[in-house]
Amino acid sequence: MADLLTGASGSVSAETLDLARLQFALTAGGHFLFVTLTLGLATIVACVQTRATISGRPLQARMVRFWGQLYVINYAVGIVTGIVMEFQFGLSWSGLTHDVGNVLGASLAVETIVAFFVESTFLGLWIFGWNRFGKWVHLALIWVVTLTAYLSAYWILVANGFLNHPVGHRMEDGRAVLDDVGALLTNPSALLAFGHILAGSLLTAGFFMAGVSAYHLFRRTPEWEFFGRSLRIGVFVSLPALVVTAGFGGVQLASLADLQPMKSAVFQQKTAEIAQLQTDLAARFGPGNYVPSEAWTRGGALVMLIAFALMMYLCVAGTVLGCFRKVVFRFRLWHVVLMASVPLPYLAMISGWVFREAGRQPWVVYGVLRTRDAVSEVSPTAMRTSLIAFTTLFVLLAVVNARLLWRHARRGPVESGLGHDERAARDDRTDGDEPGPADPLPATRY
Amino acid sequence: METLAIVLLGFFVAGYFVLGGADIGTGMMLPYLGRDEAERRIVIASFAPFFLGNEVWLVATAGVLIGCFPELEGELLSGQFVVVVPLLIGWVVRDSGLWLRGRAPGGSSVWRALCDGAVVCGSWAVALSWGRLLTALFSGSPGTPAPGPAAVLTALAVAACFAVHGLGFAAVRLTGAPYERARQLMGRTRPAQSLALTAVLMAALPLLAGRLLPLYESAADGATLALLVPVVLVITPLLVAVQAWLWRTFRHRVTGPSYL
């Protein structure tokens, strides 16, 4: 702790810094986990809706409504954590906007206006426009939502890539100025992470889909055909997604030796190299501790690699087992394993994130700006109050989200709101009331 | 370039106050407009398709602010920490209430009452926080939260603007008993007239408050603006067109509940 106090910005207390870091870690980490499922599930829903639109088969249209409902529930929590995160840059890290705002701010601005604005408007059209548009228009809506979500992820990773490996800028009077847009947009630290996270989110969605389907097959609910197909989609998406995720991960790990040698040395526990780098960095940037926490950095990486190994076995076995019809419906031990392995991709994603973000400390912008110099001059009391408020709110939302996902997943494809045809309800009013929650989910009428 | 960036900032913030202000105001008046669960659901349906598209105007405003005026963004938000945090909490609570209201399987009425409460409290918190934030901007001290009873009064006045704007919106969108209640408070004014009037007022609020901000002085570096401003200028008509399509699609008065 002592070295935190010797920074240039002596006016901000170490307590504020720790609280601000904890707050950002919880917000960003929480947001990351929700978005992971959202991004992957959106892709799968868009693909299933494409097949449903082309084939016109009721079963596939029902799959769109069921998985789309889970996607929307999860999206809602992702968006509110994301909103808070966007404002936290200015709230808690005004040093960041002051020193590197010219570069970081631009990518965040493009993300909000070019990607997120379009995504939100089209999601509103998709959710509320069910049965109002032609089927091809409605299909186009979900694809716009999915592709702008990808665009959003790309721009956020341009911002994050800049924090990890600042390129495309030059320093003028201690402030970064945009110098080379091409270098900023093709930053390897952004592009590799983009591929890694896209594939990782598909993997998360694949495991989620397989786990939920396995529950219904295990319980032998009547919707065996529905969940047999869904389980296969989940399982068959998982293996390629895992291979691509691991591929991008491996390249990123290899590139660390050049981009962030200290993180690489701490991960590999090369004591001599760590000492050498510490001496070099101290000579370059002045006295201070330049070694990130080994527990978080190495720990995060190891948990991620173990989760990866487990998923590798599961995915290979799953791809083989998924080819046999009888196995899909009757192998109950496999169903249990699939249900139990839903958290694995989440574990891998969050520990990989910890490795990436904890491993670049003490820098918020690698080699440019230290975390302690970026924190806003806010009193510890204000920071603590906001931390408690946001954390309580997010924990509550995470619990509600998990419970709602679980309850909707468990009930299976029954009438639950999304894609409900309001005109039908009004036409049928003579023969009774609104469709009950237990009525089986009808296919969409376009 | 700086002037164009300021115009963009003004455009997005005014858009948020006019569009987002309408659904926030309707949310504030929810207990008055809808007396039972079914009525409240109809009232929420009046802005359900739009609220997501409305609040992104503020996200976009924050985007323009951090992109074109990064230093001001940091100073403004960290200086107004104790005002912005309640605003965000109100926003999150309100959105959670809206999103999750209809999602409790089995239709528990306690759950829906809880969510309605979250929508109302969240909407008031957002409107009052805006009031306090605008007071600080009006008084020319963007770096410190506005103190004293004057701030309370201004905050209440701004919140009242939100509420009246929301009432006008409700009168234009609703039918039946909630519509009658909205009309009752408005007297003899025609709903469309009232809405147009409050829309102008809502757009004027942030623009007047923002005119004292040191925007020219804190604009981003020329290279950043040269990249960012043209991109945003090109995309903005597209965004407006998409939003216009959304409003056109759901332009009819609501008669039944929606997904929320």
Indicate the domain borders of chain A: 14-260+292-413
The answer to whether residue A434 scores a pLDDT higher than 70 is no
Q: Are A109 and B232 inside 8 Å of each other by CB?
A: yes
Listed by number, the residues of chain A in 400-419 with a beta carbon closer than 8 Å to a beta carbon of chain B are: 400, 404, 407-408, 411, 416-418
State yes or no: pLDDT of A437 exceeds 70. Answer: no
Quick one: average pLDDT of B145-157? 84
Whether residue A103 lies within 8 A of chain B, CB to CB, comes out as yes
Mean pLDDT of A341-352: 92
**Residues of chain A contacting residue B249, judged by C-beta atoms under 8 Å apart:** 125, 129, 132-133
**ipTM of this complex prediction, to 2 decimal places:** 0.86
What percent of chain A clears pLDDT 90, i.e. is strictly above it? 25
- Percent residues over pLDDT 70 in chain A: 91
Lowest mean pLDDT: which of A62-66, A105-109, B253-257?
A: B253-257
Average pLDDT rounded to a whole number, residues A265-282:
84
The predicted structure's pLDDT at residue B182? 81
- Give the distance from residue A108's alpha carbon to the nearest chain B alpha carbon, in angstroms: 6
Q: Can you give the pLDDT at residue B35?
A: 84
pLDDT digits (tens, 9 = 90+) for B180-192: 888 888 777 787 8
pLDDT for position A416? 65
**Which pLDDT band holds residue A427 (cuts at 50, 70, 90)?**
very low
Q: Supply the pLDDT for residue B162.
A: 92
Q: Does the pLDDT of residue A253 top 60, yes or no?
A: yes
**Chain B residues with beta carbon closer than 8 angstroms to that of A94:** 74-75, 77-78
Higher pLDDT, A295 or A347: A347
pLDDT tens track for A399-408: 988 888 888 8
Q: What does the pLDDT read at residue A426?
A: 46
- Average predicted confidence (pLDDT) for chain A: 84
Which residues in chain A are contacts of B65 at CB distance < 8 A? 90
Average pLDDT over chain B, rounded to an integer: 86
Q: Check whether A438 has a pLDDT greater than 50.
A: no
Q: Do A91 and B231 touch (CB under 8 A)?
A: no
pLDDT for res B156: 92
Q: How far is B189 from chain A (nearest CA, A)?
A: 31
Angle at B86 between CA B83 and CA B91, to 5 degrees: 125
Q: Hey, is the C-beta of A397 within 8 angstroms of any chain B C-beta?
A: yes
pLDDT, mean of residues A43-52? 93
- Say whether pLDDT at B159 is over 50: yes
Looking at chain A, which residue has its C-alpha nearest residue B99?
Answer: A76
- The C-alpha of A11 sits at a distance from chain B's nearest C-alpha, in angstroms, of 15
Distance in Å, alpha carbon of B54 to nearest chain A alpha carbon = 8
Candidates B77, B110, B238, partner chain A, best to mutate (most A CBs within 10 A): B77
**The pLDDT value given to residue A442:** 55
Contact B92 A181 (CB under 8 A): no
Query: A24: distance to nearest CA of chain B, Å?
Result: 14
Nearest to A112 among B63, B70, B220 (CB): B63
Cross-chain Cβ contact B84/A84 below 8 Å:
no
